[in-house]
A and B are shown apart, each in its own frame.
Chain A
Amino acid sequence: MMMKWRLFKETGRPLSTAEGLAIDDTLPRSVDQHGSPPILHLYTFVPSAIVGKYQDIEAALKLERCKARGVEYNRRATGGGTVIMGPQVVALGLGINLDYPGIKNGVSGVFESLSQVLCAAVSRFGVKARFRPRNDLEVEGKKLAGLSAAAESGKALLFHTSLLVDFDIGLMLDIMNTPLIKIQDKGYSCFSQRITTFGQETGKRLSVTEVMDAIQEAFEEHFGIQFTQDRPDPWEQECISRLIKERYTNKDWIFSHKHPRARMGVGRVKTKGGLLEIYLSLAGGSIENLVITGDFFSTTEAVQRIESELKWTSARREAIEEKLGAIWKPDMIYGLDVPTLASAILQAKENQVRL
């Protein structure tokens, strides 16, 4: 008999951040402690900005702008960076046991397995996406979805992702403290080169429900299962209410100070290949994000590949050079080599200031 998984699909209304995140946190708990089969939660949020568990929310977001624009902000239980959510972004929470058949074992394997499912969902609209190790789903170098996860309860895992059906880059630039804000005149083109949406890729106005249906079907095919549309039972409701109270409406959680120190810096180096500008966000000793711009010759895909590879690398020369060396091809950036690029990044690190 075909295995049944549970599906919490909410198409009627966007959820508040507190409700959506509390339901997601309940999923792995229910799988681990309440005997539930895997649960997939598909929904949308009200316009909101959600930071990763260990991000400095005050450094990541302009909270006053969020309030002025009626954008909710909150902190999720999984890792990674800030995501901007809203009625045109499909939110996905999955609670599943780490040793479930079909889930590749190990930390990186989990992301890979679930990315395959998402790629299959996306391909139903004729969009060819691929997994960019370790955490992004991309279409020709542009990010379509970000993935994050946390080991929450016993062997059960909470997996989070968001898929962009449509996206307001202007809103994102207004409420986020990103290094790119510093080059706002170039901001729109920089962002539009780095992010894509279902709308852009298909040239159609897709509804979030269509995308949710495709995700549901891709899960059913990949794992050979069938979903039962369901809703939280009383045990789960109680867990959700508790998490809303203790976490998602609690200032101690939302403004948690458990995070690496956030800093940013800019590096400018004249090279044989042209002027190279590096905008760097640091989280403690790691590179949280970087943007490479300048008047050199390269392709968007090559620059993105480099930026993506360096995310969350330790900001030390050896680590940066090792990461770059592993992916470097001659003239990836015309006239530039690994040590020069590493020097520009280190210069941005030297120039770091507190956000």
Chain B
Amino acid sequence: MVEIKGYNMPDELYYHKEHSWARVDGNRVTVGMTDFFQKEAGDIVFVDLPEEEDEVEQGEVCGKIQSRKWIGKLVAPVSGEIVEINEELEEDTSLINTDPYGKGWILVIEASNLEEELGNLIHGAEAVTKFIEEEIKRAEEEKAKA
């Protein structure tokens, strides 16, 4: 577990800038939402997911996540076919809040262009720290402006 400014961001994972994460196991990529996202969003109450066997492109909005009255986006971190959906989320969406990198995983993609696309994602302690620091800075700047 790697904690950056109060956010748990495991450094073996790959991150999309829209806050989905990817765990790579061969060609199978497990996808979920980051600790940063779940803390910002608050209680997750519904996840609107694609179907298994759907094809998705890297960067495509492939699902929606509702937290209370807010509806945010789940962006596919890699392209490929959706081969598994976390059915436990149907009964308990709070798993995304309580265990975002474990039981709160959302879906698995069988990647079609993994090697090339991983290069577009944020990875490694240094890059992830920079990403989170920028996200926090952006939030603070906006608050100051307001």
Contact = CB atoms under 8 A, between A and B. Distances in A.
Interface of A: 52-54, 77-80, 99, 101-111, 113, 134-135, 146-151, 258-260, 283-286, 288, 311-314, 316, 319
Given A103-B146, A107-B67, 18 more contacts: A54-B71, A79-B70, A103-B142, A104-B143, A105-B141, A105-B143, A107-B42, A109-B142, A111-B69, A135-B68, A149-B69, A150-B71, A260-B90, A284-B90, A286-B45, A288-B45, A316-B92, A319-B94
Contacts of B142: 99, 101, 103-106, 109
B70 to A, nearest CB: 5
Contacts, number: 113
Given A105-B139, A314-B97, A54 B46 contact: yes
B41 interface: yes
Nearest to B43: A312
Contacts of A53: 66, 71
9 contacts: A106-B40, A106-B142, A107-B67, A134-B68, A148-B70, A286-B94, A312-B67, A316-B92, A316-B94
A135 B69 CA distance: 7
A265 to B, nearest CB: 16
Contact of A283 (B45, B64, B97, B139): B45
B1 to A, nearest CB: 20
Contacts of B130: none
Contacts of B67: 79, 107, 312
Contacts of A134: 42, 68-69
Interface of B: 40-43, 45-46, 48, 64, 66-73, 90-94, 97-98, 138-139, 141-143, 145-146
A102 B43 CA distance: 25
Contacts of A102: 145-146
Nearest to A81: B69
A312 B97 CA distance: 13
Contacts of B93: 260, 284-286, 314
Given A149-B71, A151-B71, A284 B46 contact: yes
Nearest to B36: A106
- Central interface residue in B40, B66, B91, by most chain A CB within 10 Å: B66
Contacts of A258: 48
Nearest to B141: A105
